[in-house]
Structure 1
Amino acid sequence: EGIRRVVEGVSNIPVIGNGDVTTPQAAKRMIERTGCQGISAGRGAFYNPWIFLHTQDYLQTGVLPPEPSFEERIRVMRRHYDLMVEVFGEKRGSLQFRKVAPWYSKRFGPVKPFNTAVVRISSREDFDRVLSEYLEWRKDFTDGSGELLPRYQLPPMVASFMQEEEEHQARQRKAIAVPKGPVEVW
């Protein structure tokens, strides 16, 4: 609402929408609802660094690209760690990465032991050990191909403002849709 009013008030200045842009769908909805000329993805980029490319594809084609595989998420997280060590040195890079790793793990499935341990790393050896132990532990939650078992699979990411809209619409309904036929089958 506020972004739309700003867009209407400053027609000669490009407005960048910001706030809970965590998925390509959220980016599209923000652009459509507010008329902003661009979006800013903050924390959504931490656990979904693919958001930029996926949003571009989604806006251009209307087709949502597939989620990155677990292996791809691990590869990118490792690369991020390597770059932080390269820029800041092993000790400081490891300490800085403690803040970043839990964002990556939001899409890993069960992660409690990883999150508990990774926020204590202070060296590459620590990082490699924590990741190796986690990858071994995670196998208990996967099938033979490495995919999470159905009961551990994560629901799709949905921006909170999109959830709130759906919940509001549900509260506005006057009746609950009930299928025709015998109720006993429920």
Structure 2
Amino acid sequence: MVKIGNIELGEFPLLLAPMEDVSDPPFRAVCKDNGADLMYTEFISSEGLIRDAIKSRKKLDIFPYEKPIGIQIFGGDEEAMAMSARIVDATQPDILDINYGCPVKKVVCKGAGAGVLRDIPLMVRLTQAVVKSTSLPVTVKTRLGWDDSSINIEEVAERLQDVGIKALSIHGRTRAQLYKGEADWTLIRKVKENPRIQIPIFGNGDIDTPEKALEYKNQYGVDGIMIGRAAIGYPWIFNEIKHFMKTGEKLAAPSMKQRIEVARKHLKFSVEWKGEKTGILEMRRHYTSYFRNIPNIKPYRQKLVEFEAYEQVDELLCEMEQEFMNAFVEA
């Protein structure tokens, strides 16, 4: 049984990665429905929380059915991180996560996210400040290092465990790689096999099929897998992986009816939570994946990203369900 603090996650948990502008409550809802064991919010700026910025505060929205749920924060100032940890603590998630992995330039330039990878003593101080400021179990998501010449994940894992984190998720790339090339899980395995490491180690990067998930589980010995981009528009991946690991058989691809049902739920929640204009706009990034490999779908997908009223999009989805009722969907 894998545990973070006192939170039991099952024998081999599948985690939904915190993805900016993706891992919001509507997206998390459909991932939870489809087998995600632990989910994290989008990352939240510690400075934004302290300033009471509306966008940052809204990202604190969590719902009872999401539990266990982790809220992720980022920043490069010890006092700000400590203060934001206390704010998060008051919202009562199950876990508080720190982001040391985001490679985006605007975050890195502020000395936050993956920018902290260049200063390990600072990373340790920031982590310690957060651990001391919350009653929640603290976890960390990070990368292998800043670039190929400064890979330091083994040292990082030991030092962060020493200051009190309860789990570590490792993306198998450096900051310099961004999301290019192939994730290197051999270094994740080294961390897991380190006899000093007693906390759960979760691997992240390039897991996009049930076969690969099982292969990496067996080959690298991690305690669980964190899934990010592969879940966008395809939340079924969590249950597909679980089924394959249990039976060795692949589930059939979701039918058109299933795809539309999930897309409609996602859309409805998105509009309710964000408002009609923003909800419809931000939902558009998901349609390509929801309706991939459907013959003759292109004209409908085009309309999905053009319509601006909720009723229009919802009616189109209903029309698609009738039109493609018997469509064959490739796995």
Pairwise TM-score range, normalised by the shorter structure: 0.5 to 0.7
1:15 maps to 201
1:61 maps to 247
CA displacement 1:61-90 (0-9 Å, x = unmatched): 333222221111111111111111121122
Please say which of residues 4-13 and 61-70 is displaced more in the overlay.
4-13
Structure 1 residues without counterparts, runs of 5 or longer? 140-144, 157-186
Read off the aligned partner of 1:77 and give its amino acid letter. Answer: A
* Cα-Cα RMSD: 2.4
Give the CA deviation at 1:133.
5.8
The change in CA–CA distance for 1:109 and 1:17 in structure 2 (over 3 A counts) is farther
CA contact (8 A) 1:95 1:121 kept: no
The change in CA–CA distance for 1:90 and 1:77 in structure 2 (over 3 A counts) is same
CA contact (8 A) 2:217 2:224 kept: yes
CA contact (8 A) 2:294 2:327 kept: no
Residue 123, structure 1, aligned to residue 303, structure 2: no
Paired residue secondary structure (1:22): coil
Paired residue secondary structure (1:16): strand
CA contact (8 A) 1:57 1:65 kept: yes
Give the CA deviation at 1:47.
2.9
CA displacement 1:12-70 (0-9 Å, x = unmatched): 23211111222222211111111111001112112321222222222223332222211
Aligned residues: 145
The change in CA–CA distance for 1:97 and 1:47 in structure 2 (over 3 A counts) is closer
Please say which of residues 118-127 and 81-90 is displaced more in the overlay.
118-127
Instruction: Name the larger-Rg structure.
Output: 1
Q: Which has the higher helix share?
A: 1
2:189 maps to 4
1:29 maps to 215
Q: Distance in 1 between matches of 2:192 and 2:239?
A: 25
* Percent of aligned positions that are identical: 33
CA contact (8 A) 1:22 1:48 kept: no
CA contact (8 A) 1:28 1:59 kept: yes
1:147 maps to 327
1:179 maps to none
* 1:1-186 pair list within 5 angstroms: 1-9=186-194, 11-131=197-317, 134=320, 146-148=326-328, 154=330, 156=331
Read off the aligned partner of 1:5 and give its amino acid letter. Answer: K
Q: Distance in 2 between matches of 1:18 and 1:74?
A: 28
Q: Which has the higher strand share?
A: 2
CA displacement 1:141-173 (0-9 Å, x = unmatched): xxxx7133xxxx63x4xxxxxxxxxxxxxxxxx
CA contact (8 A) 2:304 2:316 kept: yes
Please say which of residues 122-131 and 97-106 is displaced more in the overlay.
122-131
Give the CA deviation at 1:110.
3.8
Structure 2 residues without counterparts, runs of 5 or longer? 1-185
The change in CA–CA distance for 1:114 and 1:3 in structure 2 (over 3 A counts) is farther
Q: Distance in 2 between matches of 1:107 and 1:3?
A: 33
Give the CA deviation at 1:101.
1.8
Q: Distance in 2 between matches of 1:2 and 1:110?
A: 44
Q: Distance in 1 between matches of 2:295 and 2:206?
A: 21
State the structure with bigger RCO (CA 8 A, min sep 6), 1 or 2: 1
The change in CA–CA distance for 1:47 and 1:97 in structure 2 (over 3 A counts) is closer
CA contact (8 A) 1:47 1:106 kept: no
